[in-house]
Structure formats: C-alpha cells, structure tokens
Chains A and B, each alone.
Chain A
C-alpha cells in the first residue's frame, strides 16, 4: 500500500526567507506526486505535480518541488516566503487505483 509521510507537523519561517516543506513517498507506488494547499474553511488547492521528466517542478504562486528518486522525496520549496503563504500543505501520491494517498499535512506559518 502507498504511504506518504510529512515528517513535520509545523514549519515556521520568517517572511522573505526560503521555505521547505518535506515529503517522502512510498517506493511501492508510481511516483505521481502532488502538492496541495488548504486555507481555513476551504478545500484543497492544487499547487504542482510531478509525473515524469525534470526533477525540479515549478508550480503556482512561486512554489516549486524537487523530486529525488534515490531519497524517495518530493520537497516543496519557495525562494522567498510571504505571510500569505501561511496555510496547511499536503503532499499526495497518485496511482492506477484512481485515488490519492495524502500525507498528514504540514502547517506552514510565515512570520512577518
């Protein structure tokens, strides 16, 4: 069975600093990987996906993610954090079962 791990429940970063939200995926599944963001009382919003190709994936709002097959990781990054980036971030893995397996989520707080 697939499993996705987000080892940090909470990440704090100062505005203007780079941010990283960590994610590791299970080797048993194919590496169709996604990042979503959730704001309070809202649904999940798609940020980016990795299917195949370049290991560095660029997405919405200046976010990018780095796929690392040897470490089975798919970390979300942004060069310069904004206060408005504060939200709950989910990593997810897709596959042929037509369902996404989500990580437990990481609460990102960007401090002004």
Chain B
C-alpha cells in the first residue's frame, strides 16, 4: 500500500502570501490529521477531518484552515503568512474503527517544509 503523500515537499513564501498544502491518505483511511512541527513548540495539533467534516481543531488562529474531499484527500491553507509559520507541516491518516477512541496509530507523510521570508 502506498503511504501518506504530501505535496509539495518544500515551499518558500513571502510574508502576507497564502499557501495550500495537500495530503493524500493511505487508501481506506478516512481520518486525516494535520500537525505543525517547529524546533521551539514541537509537534502541535492543527485539526482532524473525517468524512469531510472537521471533528477537532487545535489552538491555532483562523488563518489556518483545512478541508477534506470525498476521496479523503485533504488540504490545509494558511493565509496572510507570518514568519512564525515557518515549520514542517505533517499530515497523518488513520484507520478508524467503529466505537474506537483515539487509539488507532497515525501514519505520517514526510511533510511539507514551509519557509516564510
């Protein structure tokens, strides 16, 4: 099975611009999550989608948004970029079982490294 695919791998943007990152989950996985990884803050949860619905959102400003399509592919968007948005953005998918709490392992992509100048 193909793993989680994130595109692009690298992005360089200027402050004030917006950016869209893409994620294709493992086939059959319907839950997609996004995390931001920075040296200072570590790994922080952005949001989670399941069947095109956002089920949970982390503590990030409204400039960070996402969506999920009917084929489970997901995108996240960051508008009005700031220098502090420079980070590795990781997408992860999981196979959610009926009635399961969050005990299914996440399968991560290799991330998109965003640099804001």
Contact = CB atoms under 8 A, between A and B. Distances in A.
Interface of A: 30, 32, 34, 36, 41-46, 49, 51, 90, 94-105
A100 B106 contact: yes
Contacts of B50: 98
Interface in B60-117: 90, 92, 101-103, 105-111, 113
Given A97-B56, A98-B31, A41 B101 contact: no
Contacts of B58: 99
A34 B6 CA distance: 23
A45 B108 contact: yes
Given A43-B108, A100-B45, A102-B42, A51 B31 contact: no
5 contacts: A30-B101, A46-B106, A96-B101, A96-B102, A99-B45
B24 interface: no
A43 B101 contact: no
A102 B110 contact: no
B24 to A, nearest CB: 13
Contacts, number: 67
Interface residues of B, number: 26
Given A98-B55, A100-B45, 5 more contacts: A32-B102, A49-B103, A95-B102, A98-B56, A100-B106
A17 B69 CA distance: 48
Contacts of B4: 43
A104 B6 CA distance: 23
B11 interface: no
| Most chain B CB atoms below 10 A, which of A32, A45, A98, A102 | A98
A96 B99 CA distance: 10
Top 10 A-B pairs, shortest CB-CB distance: A43-B108, A94-B102, A102-B43, A99-B45, A46-B105, A32-B103, A44-B108, A43-B110, A98-B102, A96-B101
